[in-house]
Amino acid sequence: MNPKKLVMFATELFDRLSAAGWIPALLMRLFVGYFFMETGWGKIHNLDAFTTRFAQWGIPHPAFNAALSAYTEFLGGALTILGLGMRFVSIPMIINMIVAIVTVKLKNVSGLDDFVELDEPLYALSFVWLFFSGAGWLSVDGLFKRALNFWIRPERSQATVGALSTRCAEARDDANGLRDF
């Protein structure tokens, strides 16, 4: 195989992977969003027991904080699935996980090994990643962004449409050229 063709193939492959960067955001949103929507729904519908657990953990104002936590999880999960206000939604979700770690989970942690086995830091990090990366192309936020770009800068949007058409044609030509390998 020609080394130059191999480098071109690798470059094209990496470009295509970069263009598919919306897929991890979608999968992360669907997974953690569903998880939190489901757990929040369960806590909302058993709020008395959840409030009792908050009181046992020594959390102040257990009824208010239990309801706040449950509704934050449910609404935050639903908005995460939709990708609506993802960067704003991430903040209370991260705070909810930090509070759970500090007030409940750290009591049973005796070292780094115990800490990294907790679920809450992973969920918090998921929302940190979504905060910085955004909801991705396939989301309500992505739809709003494209609509705003089209409305605010129609000349740029038309140029984008032209560029996308050109890239599609180039990708088709490249795919035909890859048959030579």
Is pLDDT of 112 > 60? yes
pTM for this model (two decimals)? 0.77
Listed as own residue / partner, the contacts of 56-65 with beta carbons closer than 8 Å and 24 or more positions apart are 57/103, 57/104, 58/103, 59/103
Per-residue pLDDT, averaged over 50-59, amounts to: 95
- pLDDT tens digits for 14-51? 888 888 888 999 999 999 999 999 999 999 999 999 99
Is pLDDT of 164 > 80? no
Task: Please report where in the chains the tokens 């088709």 appear, as a residue.
Answer: 172
Would you tell me how many other CB atoms lie within 10 Å of the CB of residue 101?
18
Element housing 44 (H / E): helix 22-44
